[in-house]
């Protein structure tokens, strides 16, 4: 997009518009990451080694999500008029499709219970398959043929 609009970057206010767009994109990404990765899917937190990881997540959302969004909006505060070029909607459509795919892929399979896998440091494939074979666990994916000496009981 920068190459397509390089003539517009020579304008006097272009640096301000570019900085505003950067801050809005940066803030939007971190706000989306906080809501989806930290809270909705519980994939990770900013700090796991604290008694209150949610407070760290909130601080991160504020400093790296909301503050850049507000600053970017104030810097590029002109309202647009007219409809956008349909080609300009392609990045938003791709981002939306990616978010939707992430949400769908994170859903558990229908009818299956939760899956938890715990591996100790230094676990060999043979140890893992032996431990699973001794439990009531069902192996969903794996290659026991690659583990020499492993047999299902």
Per-residue pLDDT of 1-33, as tens digits, reads 666 666 777 777 777 888 888 888 899 989 988
Tell me the pLDDT of the chain averaged across its residues.
Answer: 74
Torsion over CA: 18, 22, 25, 31 (sign): negative
Tally Cβ neighbours within 10 Å of residue 38.
20
Residue with the two structure tokens 């989306």: 32
What is the value of pTM for the model shown? 0.48
Domain ranges of the chain: 12-78+87-106, 110-153
* CA–CA gap between residue 43 and residue 22 (Å, rounded): 26
Tally Cβ neighbours within 10 Å of residue 45.
19
- Residue ranges of the chain whose pLDDT lies below 70: 1-6, 77-89, 107-118, 136-153
């Amino acid at each position: 997009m920068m190459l397509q609009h390089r003539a517009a970057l020579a304008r006097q206010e272009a640096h301000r518009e570019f900085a505003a767009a950067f801050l809005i994109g940066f803030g939007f990404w971190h706000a989306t990451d906080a809501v989806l990765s930290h809270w909705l899917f519980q994939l990770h937190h900013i700090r796991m080694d604290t008694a209150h990881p949610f407070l760290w997540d909130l601080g991160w959302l504020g400093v790296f999500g909301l503050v850049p969004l507000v600053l970017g909006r104030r810097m590029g505060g002109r309202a647009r008029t007219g409809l956008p070029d349909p080609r300009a909607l392609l990045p938003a459509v791709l981002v939306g499709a990616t978010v939707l795919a992430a949400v769908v892929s994170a859903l558990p399979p229908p009818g299956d219970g939760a899956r938890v896998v715990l591996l100790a440091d230094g676990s060999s494939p043979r140890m893992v398959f032996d431990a699973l074979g001794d439990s009531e666990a069902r192996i969903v994916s794996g290659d026991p043929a690659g583990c020499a000496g492993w047999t299902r009981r």
